[in-house]
Structure 1
Amino acid sequence: MLKLLNSFISASNTILWSYVLIVLLIAVGIYFTVYLKGAQFKFFGQTFKLLGGGKPKDGKGVSSFQAFCISVASSVGTGNLAGVAIAVSVGGPGAVFWMWLITLLGAGSSFVENTLAQVYKVKDKNGYRGGPAYYMEKALGKRKLGIIFSVLITISFGLVFNSVQANTITFAFEEAFGLSRLYGAIIIIALTSTVIFGGVKRIAQVAEVIVPVMAVAYVLVALFVVFKNISQLPHVFTMIFEGAFGLKQFTGGGIGAAIMMGIKRGLFANEAGMGSAPNAAAAAEVTHPVNQAIMQVFGVFLNTIVICSATAFIILVSGANQQEGLTGIQLTQTALSSEVGAWGNIFIAACTFMFAFSSIIGNYYYGESNIEFMNGSKTVLSIFRFAVIGMVFIGSMASLDMVWNLADLFMGLMALLNIVVIFKLSKIVLKVIQDYAAQKREGKDPVFYVENVDGLVNVECWSKDREKIQHSA
């Protein structure tokens, strides 16, 4: 019975991810890029100014940078190491080009969903919270739709994906250091408990440390490998572009595999349009919703254009992709070890830990935010926290093929729901962007007030009256 159910779930995932979602995510990515006149590129220069944004004025909530780190923590996972390796081994070097292209288009969807998350966020005792469930309720007036989304993201990200990340950590440490999976589970549970029972502030503080360290360390090692083999770099780019457009690949059918693997890797890695990152984006205190959208777009580029590309270059420069039978994390480990020596295995294990553990705490936050939307009870939240700990333990010790397939299905349905909603609400985003751009043209540091944009209803946190009340309190 379980085998039959797993086969059904797997078949459903194939249809959903290989046909429906890929077409929709590409289509809305192109649509948003054109409709918003390339907003994801137009305002990209503001990123580096916003990266140094200050802490929240009231000492509560999280800064723009911390919210950015939470979303990157969740989206940057072991897929950046193993997933890219699979894309290159199955789709060839050309998959890297299509990964880049889908990221540039997908950034438009990211801009829309994260702007909406900021516009429709709500105030709570810890600062702010929001995300797709919140804009489904407030912008569309469909709370039941928001509850459906909350259930999907809480189960897939908050519970199941965390078990998979824990599974990856214990396997990596057993392989690299001979550490018992039980001891590995105990370590992960202790660290996870310390962070998630400390609330959103502690999650933000930990993410703020882990994300820059893991990203910079990994990219620096990748740059070392590239510069060590600098003479091969033109050949690597030739392989990528020939693999993407070459006549040989086209006639042999290889170009189809390159396109499919590159697109899937790009979509899975950056999660643009899927409705996950907006849950973190809403927590930030910023002066204008577009500011946080710009930050989240930078996260999409960092995740795919930088970190995934780093993995691809390590593999292609080393030539490990030419070896038979190597794929996934094993291919990445072999490629790096061949360039830097035996410590490459240890480094990949350390990266696996940082990438996967950061995903656990980021995924947990997505679940917490949506638990708050559905119920808000402290008892329910405590039960959820213990459920996360339980799933981390199960994931550390067990094989999770069926659970992973189920999580993919839930995430696919979640993404499908979010895509339809952000498409319907894109007019609101255009007005908010126009407000931002008009203030920039006047030389102002943009400040958003709901009264300045026609047609916005059920917006709680951006009124002039609310700001006056807060200042007088």
Structure 2
Amino acid sequence: MNGFIEWIEKINGMVNSVVWGVPALILLIGTGVLMTTLTKGFQFTHFGHMIRETVGGLFRKKDILKSKDQNSISQFQALCTALSATIGTGNIAGIAYAITMGGPGAVFWMWIAAIVGMMTNYSENVLGIFFRRRNEKGEWCGGAMYYLRDGLGAKKHCKWIGKVLAVLFSIFAVVASFGIGNMGQVTSIRESVQSIVSFTGNPTWDAVIIGAVIMVAAALVILGGIQRIARANERLVPFMAVFYIIGAVIIVGMNFKLVGPAFASIFTNAFSFKAVSGGVGGALIMQAITWGFKRGVFSNEAGLGSSVMVHSASNVKEPVTQGLWGIFEVFFDTIIVCTLTALVILTSGVVDLQTGQSFSGATKLGLAAEAFSNSFGVVGGIFIAIAVTLFAFSTVLGWSYYGTKAWEFLFGTKSTVIYKVVFIAVILAGATLSADLVIDLSDTFNGLMAIPNLIGVITLSGTVMAITKNYVNRRLKKGGSDESPLLSHFADIQAEQEKALREEGN
């Protein structure tokens, strides 16, 4: 048995090195560059419009906060549910690890990954809305599997390719949901809680109690479907984000004299100016680029095709509108939250600003906790434990929905209750058992999701361009054109959404 497990670990390690290796990162970043180029830098040229139509419209547009359609969720709820899955332990432990492995320069390349990733996420959401359909309950169903089957599959000689890729994406998403979206997050919660409190004095029984509490809390939300998940995340995500941002900003403010040197170390180490003439310099640059791209992609999940499943459940009519929320999602997750974590670590005196090496030898969550504790004392450790618990629990909720929609695509709407029950049961296993292999395997499947998804985005890039150009001509150009909006691939939904837009006066 041990030999079989070792064989699985070896095979997974080989596949994982490819899935999350340099070629895969080039594909992920390259897709973002492609979409940025094809849309003429849409995330730059229309950044102000994006802000006005997303967070800027929260108290100006009623449909952003509420949905009249009981079978859909509001745009803000879709964002919060997407952020619940993307803002996780990777925003804390992942950034600490990137700095120690790739140096402070990794932060710069993380920004680059996010900037181009905005357009990958935008494109995914535009396609998600354009190719979504309603299920037998009247709920919206969208995601990479739908635009692969109905978009790529509609192209000449691509019917079966689209179907196969759609099925593969769904299988990868279901498997990934149990590890990255469930057991990995629950393990982080257990470790965080046990670092500050013991209920029984026995670590095993403490783990059972923690797992049981998480399981019950998650069940109360997950079994209520997307509406209850959206309502929970609508309250949880803003609170946890503000909670973490305030704590991080306070620490950066306390260490403001080191903010300048921290930024200097990020930019200089991104290119290793001091050693750029030699082989060592080249190796350091490659290390910074690799780890920056890895953490950027892993944090905001742009290109993986995961968050588009919940964005597609929005009450929005215009595909581009949901695409704008996709841009904001990446901006907030990486440019704001991850950058704040990096600044906390770089200004707290816990790492060498030249190399990013930890003085204490701590990495990942331990280094982040050390950075907060240096400024907050014992409270710092408690702060990180609370932040990790909130981030990880919200990720469990978000990924439960992703897994549900992927399962629904494979086995039908009525069977989703089976997935939900199994997903909830696995939570207790994540808290009480060693799940390293399961988490490692799901990490690989998480990365595998990107391959069929990016094939879909690239092959349907012309569709994204056409929808974007149509929106810009109608909504953003002076006078606006009178051309018909491009809202759906399907004639019946196109007519339905056009009518709704006319009634709203858009």
TM normalised by structure 1 equals: 0.93
Could you tell me how far apart the structure 2 residues matched to 1:445 and 1:212 are? 35
Aligned residues: 467
Alignment partner, residue 100 of structure 2: 89
Could you tell me how far apart the structure 1 residues matched to 2:333 and 2:494 are? 30
| Aligned with 1:154 (options 174, 183, 188) | 174
Alignment partner, residue 260 of structure 2: 234
| Aligned with 1:432 (options 440, 455, 467) | 467
Alignment partner, residue 270 of structure 2: 244
| Aligned with 1:303 (options 333, 351, 364) | 333
| Aligned with 1:343 (options 351, 371, 379) | 379
Alignment partner, residue 136 of structure 1: 148
| Aligned with 2:365 (options 329, 336, 348) | 329
Alignment partner, residue 177 of structure 1: 197
Secondary structure of the residue aligned to 1:431 is: helix
Superposition pairs of residues 59-78 of structure 1, within 5 angstroms: 59-78=70-89
Contact 2:12 2:441 in 1 (8 A): yes
Segment of structure 1 superposing worse, 276-285 or 124-133: 124-133
Q: 1:272 to 1:437 in 2, by over 3 A?
A: same
Contact 2:105 2:268 in 1 (8 A): yes
Taking only aligned residues, the RMSD between alpha carbons, in angstroms, comes to 2.3
Secondary structure of the residue aligned to 2:67 is: coil
Identify unmatched segments of 5+ residues in structure 1: none
Shift of 1:464: 5.0
Matched, 1:193 2:219: yes
Matched, 1:314 2:349: no
Superposition pairs of residues 93-104 of structure 1, within 5 angstroms: 93-104=104-115
Q: Identity of aligned pairs, percent? A: 33
Shift of 1:31: 1.1
Could you tell me how far apart the structure 2 residues matched to 1:157 and 1:446 are? 44
Shift of 1:465: 8.2
Could you tell me how far apart the structure 1 residues matched to 2:325 and 2:260 are? 32
The amino acid of 1:7's aligned partner reads K
Superposition pairs of residues 393-404 of structure 1, within 5 angstroms: 393-404=428-439
Contact 1:161 1:404 in 2 (8 A): no
Contact 2:223 2:420 in 1 (8 A): yes
Matched, 1:225 2:251: yes
| Aligned with 1:463 (options 476, 495, 502) | 495
The amino acid of 1:135's aligned partner reads Y
Contact 1:114 1:278 in 2 (8 A): yes
Alignment partner, residue 34 of structure 1: 37
Contact 1:249 1:255 in 2 (8 A): no
Alignment partner, residue 419 of structure 2: 384
Could you tell me how far apart the structure 2 residues matched to 1:188 and 1:254 are? 42
Runs of 4+ more than 4 Å apart: 442-447, 451-454
Could you tell me how far apart the structure 2 residues matched to 1:216 and 1:457 are? 38
Contact 1:436 1:446 in 2 (8 A): no
Secondary structure of the residue aligned to 2:431 is: helix
Could you tell me how far apart the structure 1 residues matched to 2:225 and 2:149 are? 25
Q: Can you list the C-alpha shifts for 1:243-267, whole angstroms capped at 9, x where unaligned?
A: 1123235343322221111111111
Segment of structure 1 superposing worse, 176-185 or 241-250: 241-250
Alignment partner, residue 294 of structure 1: 324
Could you tell me how far apart the structure 1 residues matched to 2:481 and 2:79 are? 19
Secondary structure of the residue aligned to 2:351 is: helix
TM normalised by structure 2 equals: 0.88
Q: Can you list the C-alpha shifts for 1:28-68, whole angstroms capped at 9, x where unaligned?
A: 11111111111122332233433312422233310011111
Segment of structure 1 superposing worse, 131-140 or 352-361: 131-140
Alignment partner, residue 202 of structure 2: none
Identify unmatched segments of 5+ residues in structure 2: 59-63, 154-161, 200-205, 353-358
